[in-house]
Structure formats: C-alpha cells, structure tokens
Chains A and B, each alone.
Chain A
C-alpha cells in the first residue's frame, strides 16, 4: 500500500480482555517497529522486526505483550488480560532499510482505551 495501515483505529476493551492490533507496513519494507504513546507523552519503543525475525523486544512492558510478524509483512501486537495502564496509542512504523537512520514511515496508530 501507499502508507502504513493500522487497524482498528479505536479499540475499547474491558479490563482483563485480550486485544489484537494489526499493522500493515509499506510493501517491501524490511523493518517494522511498534511504539506505545501514552497521553501527552512521546512514543516509547516496544519491539522491532527485521522481516519475520523479532530482533529486539526489550521495550515490551510485560509478558502480557506479544508481537509477531510470521510472513515478514503484516504484524500483530497482542495484549493479554488488558489493564488500565495499557491505555495508549499504539503506533506502528516501517522502514525499507535494516537500519532506521533515514527515518521511518509511521501509521496513524490504534488508540486503546481499557475501561
């Protein structure tokens, strides 16, 4: 596609519910990133994929967070047993290069609200 597509745009989950957030990167982009952006804050790194390999997951806040990119294109971020502190915008970004020095292309994010 022309840009990075994320769905759903908004998600309301009851506390304890599992959610899955989808990211469709730009076709052919090797690198894919997930960031979490709390209200009024800058985005914080969650995880990074190079093709289907998850090379860095150091930013995932707990074992309730899980990300995958099985075929090296679409990625899913799954949050199990959601809690109120998980409420945030989840941004996905992709890059054609293995290193991000040229900058990424971001999607418009999914706003998750846990009630």
Chain B
C-alpha cells in the first residue's frame, strides 16, 4: 500500500518570501501521479499542482513549483512571493497510474504573516 508523509505539521513565512513544504511517499510502482492540494478555512480542497512521475521536468504553476526527486521519493512544494491568501492547510497526495483513489498525507498548516 502507498503511504504519504508530511513531516512539517506547521510552517510560517513572511509575506513576499519563499517557503518549501516537504512530502515523501512510499510506493513500489514506477508510474504514478502526485498532487498538492490547498484547503483554506472554507474546507474546499483546491488543486495547486500535479506531477506525472514519468516526466522528469518539475511542474510549475505561476508562484508554485515542485521539486520532484523520484529516486528519493520526495515531492516538495515551493511557494514564491508568498501572499496572505496562501494561508491554508496543504496536502500532498499520491495516485496510482491507473487508479482513482487519492492517498493523502496528514497535511501542513501554512501561515503567511504580514
């Protein structure tokens, strides 16, 4: 079974600075998908970024980018130019190549301070 570990329960960052959230996972599969979701107090899970394991190039979405290290089974999220609206719970998630279930980590609370 796949597992996802987020070792940072809470993180803080000053507005406009950069922060990196860590995620490691365990799988025996070669192809799969990785996701970062944001959950603000409204509770709605919002997709931030996704990565296909067979692609070596790290995914980027505006201020959000990932550092995907397949051999190390690591998938960290970097948020540049942090904004107050980035304050939320962030979840890392894994999906098998032909699967449908998302396996989530326990989450990291990110607080952006002004």
Q: How far apart are B108's CB and chain A's nearest CB, in angstroms?
A: 10
- Would B42 and A104 count as touching, CB distance under 8 A? no
Interface size on A, residues (CB 8 A): 27
- Would A101 and B44 count as touching, CB distance under 8 A? no
A18 at interface (Cβ–Cβ under 8 A)?
Answer: no
**Residues of A that sit less than 8 Å from B by CB:** 31, 33, 35, 40-45, 48, 56, 59, 89, 91, 93, 99-109, 111
Residues of B close to A48: CB separation below 8 A: 100-101
Q: How far apart are B48's CB and chain A's nearest CB, in angstroms?
A: 10
- Would A41 and B106 count as touching, CB distance under 8 A? yes
The residue of chain B having its C-beta at the shortest distance from the C-beta of A105 within the complex is B47
B35 at interface (Cβ–Cβ under 8 A)?
Answer: yes
Residues of A close to B50: CB separation below 8 A: 102-103
> Given A40, A100, A107, which contacts B102 in the complex, CB threshold below 8 Å?
A100
> Given B42, B52, B95, B104, which contacts A44 in the complex, CB threshold below 8 Å?
B104
- Would A45 and B45 count as touching, CB distance under 8 A? no
Q: How far apart are B17's CB and chain A's nearest CB, in angstroms?
A: 26
Q: A42-B91, A42-B105, A42-B106 are in contact. Are A93 and B45 (CB under 8 A)?
A: yes
Q: How far apart are A113's CB and chain B's nearest CB, in angstroms?
A: 14
**A31-B100, A108-B43 given. 11 additional CB < 8 A pairs?**
A42-B4, A42-B91, A44-B104, A48-B101, A56-B100, A56-B101, A101-B97, A103-B35, A104-B47, A105-B47, A107-B44
The residue of chain B having its C-beta at the shortest distance from the C-beta of A9 within the complex is B43
Q: Please, could you name 18 A-B residue pairs with CB atoms under 8 Å apart, sorted by A?
A: A31-B100, A33-B100, A40-B106, A42-B91, A42-B105, A48-B101, A89-B43, A91-B45, A99-B100, A100-B99, A100-B100, A100-B102, A101-B95, A101-B97, A103-B35, A106-B45, A108-B42, A109-B44
Q: How far apart are B73's CB and chain A's nearest CB, in angstroms?
A: 17
